[in-house]
Amino acid sequence: MSRFSEQGSGYSYKKCPSSKSEPSRVDRPCISKNYVGHILDRYKAVSSCVLHDSSISPKETFPLFAHESGFHLNVTSGSGCRGLGQLSRIAAHEMDQIDQSDLKKKGKPYSKSSLLEHSECAEFQKTLSAPIPDHSKKLGECEVIAIPDNPDSNLLYSLRLYRMLKDVKAHSLISAIKDRWPDLEWKETELSILQVRLAQVMYNGGYPSIGSNFQTFLATLKSSALGSDQKGETLWSGFKNYLYSHYPDKDPDRRKEVRDYVDRIEKTNAQIKESTGFECFAEPR
């Protein structure tokens, strides 16, 4: 993988950033067909493993990675998020804890031990069987996730995280909507769309901040504010405006980023292609 990183990924090649305050991002040139083909092949393969028995479509998660990293595997943000899925150490830690607790029960379909039992994950046996990091120790910056040399590892963490956010966290918020207005009729399609949007914005903004703000937002609404049609759209539009004022980060740019995040990743595939530079193929070197 280093040949792609060194020759045209568009980001400086670093095994490990020396400081979280020094992001490794540089101006991105056109990326090669070889690089794009390889990364998309890995994305499809990992998606087939993690999402094999899920209602989540790879088309649902593709915009996340297109926005987060532009599919450049060795980009590191100023806050220390790394790789294709811009995974934070906190998120990796949470998935490791889930894996640890699920070693015997195997009740969570996105845990490593559960995925190991499925044929779709056969090529990832070594990665999924690797020892779970001990977070009681102070780990080095590169010990949680193998970046940039192993895109599979980052994608496995990131897609499992998204599945957990949608199936568990966003699902609980949808349940809170039904509990808040038990007498209202909801179309399952609009609740499904809202669940996807909540999961996507949680991926970027974090569940604690998004979840608590959404619960508080629901408590401020009266049913009359929802109207009779498109209640899900009304809820989503109102929540984005609410989030802009109440998201805990004091940086206004960060607030705006979180609020507008899902709008950006809901672009059409053509727009995503254009924004990530995938239409600008350089000839393989």
Q: What is residue 134's predicted lDDT score, i.e. its pLDDT? A: 66
Q: Where does the pLDDT of residue 1 fall: very low under 50, low under 70, confident under 90, or very high at 90 and above?
A: very low
Which pLDDT score, from 0 to 100, does residue 221 have? Answer: 86
Residue 90 to residue 262: CA distance in whole angstroms: 22
Bridge partner residues of 282 (DSSP): 32
Pick from 136, 145, 137: which is nearest to 92 by CA? Answer: 145
Q: What does the block give as tokens for 151?
A: 């895109």
Cα gap 38→276, rounded to integer Å? 16
Q: What is the pTM of this model?
A: 0.81
How far is Cα 231 from Cα 229, in angstroms, rounded to an integer? 5
Q: Class of the 2-276 domain?
A: mainly alpha
Find tokens 């493993």 and name the residue: 49
For the chain, domain boundaries: 2-276
What are 81-106's pLDDT values in tens digits? Answer: 888 888 887 888 888 889 988 887 76
SS3 string of the chain? CHHHHHHHCCECCCCCCCCCCCCCECCCCCCEHHHHHHHHHHHHHHHHHHCCCCCCCHHHHHHHHHHHCCCCCCCECCCCCECCCCECHHHHHHHHHHHHHHHHHCCCCCCHHHHCCCHHHHHHHHHHHCCCCCCCCCCCCCCCCCCCCCHHHHHHHHHHHHHHHHHHHHHHHHHHHHHHCCCCCCCHHHHHHHHHHHHHHHHHHCHHHHHHHHHHHHHHCCHHHCCCCCHHHHHHHHHHHHHHHHCCCCCHHHHHHHHHHHHHHCCCHHHHHHHHCCCCCECCC
Confidence category of residue 71, pLDDT binned at 50, 70, 90: confident
What mean pLDDT comes out for the span 188-195?
Answer: 90
Cβ contacts of 9 within 8 Å, gap of 6 or more: 31, 35, 72, 73, 74
Range of weakest confidence among 39-53, 66-80, 148-162, 266-280: 266-280
CB 120 within 8 A of CB 50: no
CA-derived radius of gyration, the chain: 19
Query: Residues near 20 by Cβ (< 8 Å), separated by ≥ 6?
Result: 78, 79, 80
pLDDT of 12 = 35
Q: What is the pLDDT of residues 245-263, one digit of tens each?
A: 787 777 777 777 777 777 7
The total number of residues written for the chain in this structure: 285
Asked if residue 117 lies in contact with residue 105, where contact means CB atoms within 8 angstroms, the answer is no
Residue 171 has pLDDT above 60, yes or no: yes
Contact 37, 281 (CB under 8 A): no
Query: Are residues 84 and 91 in contact, defined by beta-carbon separation less than 8 angstroms?
Result: no
